[in-house]
């Protein structure tokens, strides 16, 4: 038993050591990566589930690493949230998105409101709202063209600061979505205290859809019903099948985003892709 136990401890330390090394490697490369424009922006459209027209889009970051290829955000965002770099990255992405929208407008390409993800760390950037307003002004963009997605973790950490930021952004004319709704420990608390414009129903409730998961279906139904009572628009994430589209419509959810409609694609392809779609 002692031998086994030793092996277990040894293995555990190796795994921890490896994770730590990876983390240090990523943190060591992040600044250079930002300078070298290795962080690339993908975009995923949001759809009207009745007309299948495009109603908006969300930007999602990827790391185009020179040796490792395309790295998904799950591999680096948690590390950047720990070391604080996430705010620099999010502001960079926001600014790049604004420049892209300006370029598209200048070419008369039809655009939709685009949402940018904000991390819980971003709400502590002292001049966050001023920076955002300044970037919008420099690119001559209407504030209704940008939305921000926030998750419950920012609420759990410091509700006062989050409410403060959300109020200011909304006063400035930016819409706020509550991302991953229903997955945290205080979704209802947050909902009652933070004035958001849209609820994004987390995709986990659609995940087991084909296994006749009545519970998840009922939870979706309930969230949509509750949102209606609160006069809040809802959008479902992770819509992968027509069956899911039909279920969502049947319970009164009329907006969705997911592989059924479109996978995220590089934002440079927006112009070319948009010529093949209809707008809601």
Positions in the binding site for ligand C2E (CB under 6 A): 44, 60-61, 72-74, 77, 86, 90, 93, 117, 119, 149, 179-180, 203, 237-240, 257-259, 264
User: Minimal distance in Å, beta carbon 181 to Ca ion?
Assistant: 8
Beta-carbon count within 10 A of 116 CB = 24
CB closer to ligand C2E, 93 vs 169: 93
CB closer to ligand C2E, 100 vs 257: 257
Determine the interface stretch with Ca ion among 47-55, 94-102, 232-240, 263-271 (rule: CB under 5 A): 232-240
On the CB side of 262, CA atoms within 13 Å amount to 27
User: Minimal distance in Å, beta carbon 249 to ligand C2E?
Assistant: 17
Total residues in contact with Ca ion, by rule CB under 5 A:
5
User: Minimal distance in Å, beta carbon 59 to ligand C2E?
Assistant: 6
User: Minimal distance in Å, beta carbon 258 to ligand C2E?
Assistant: 3
CB closer to Ca ion, 122 vs 180: 180
Determine the interface stretch with Ca ion among 21-29, 95-103, 117-125, 130-138 (rule: CB under 5 A): 117-125
- The one of Ca ion, ligand C2E, none whose footprint includes residue 259, by CB under 5 to 8 A per kind, is ligand C2E
Determine the interface stretch with Ca ion among 39-47, 128-136, 177-185, 267-275 (rule: CB under 5 A): 177-185
44 binds Ca ion (CB under 5 A): no
- The one of ligand C2E, Ca ion, none whose footprint includes residue 93, by CB under 5 to 8 A per kind, is ligand C2E
């Amino acid at each position: 038993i002692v031998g086994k136990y030793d092996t277990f401890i040894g293995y555990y330390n190796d795994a921890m050591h490896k994770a730590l090394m990876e983390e240090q490697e990523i943190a060591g490369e992040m600044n250079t990566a930002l300078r070298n424009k290795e962080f690339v922006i993908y975009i995923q459209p949001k759809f009207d589930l009745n007309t299948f027209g495009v109603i908006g889009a969300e930007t999602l970051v990827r790391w185009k690493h020179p040796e490792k290829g395309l790295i998904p955000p799950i591999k680096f965002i948690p590390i950047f949230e720990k070391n604080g770099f996430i705010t620099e990255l999010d502001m960079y992405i926001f600014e790049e998105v604004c420049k892209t929208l300006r370029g598209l407008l200048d070419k008369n390409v039809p655009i939709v409101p685009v949402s940018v993800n904000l991390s819980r760390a971003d709400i502590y950037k002292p001049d966050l709202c001023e920076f955002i307003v300044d970037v919008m002004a420099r690119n001559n963009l209407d504030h209704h063209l940008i939305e921000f997605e926030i998750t419950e973790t920012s609420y759990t950490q410091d509700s006062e600061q989050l409410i403060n930021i959300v109020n200011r952004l909304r006063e400035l004319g930016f819409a706020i979505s509550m991302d991953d709704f229903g997955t945290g420990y205080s979704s209802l608390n947050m909902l009652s205290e933070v004035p958001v414009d849209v609820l994004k129903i987390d995709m986990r409730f659609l995940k087991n859809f084909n296994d006749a998961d009545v519970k998840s279906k009922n939870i979706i139904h309930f969230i949509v019903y509750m949102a209606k009572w609160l006069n809040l628009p809802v959008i479902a994430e992770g819509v992968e099948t027509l069956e899911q589209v039909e279920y969502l419509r049947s319970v009164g959810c009329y907006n969705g985003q997911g592989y059924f409609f479109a996978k995220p694609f590089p934002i440079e392809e927006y112009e070319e892709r948009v010529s093949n779609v209809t707008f809601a």
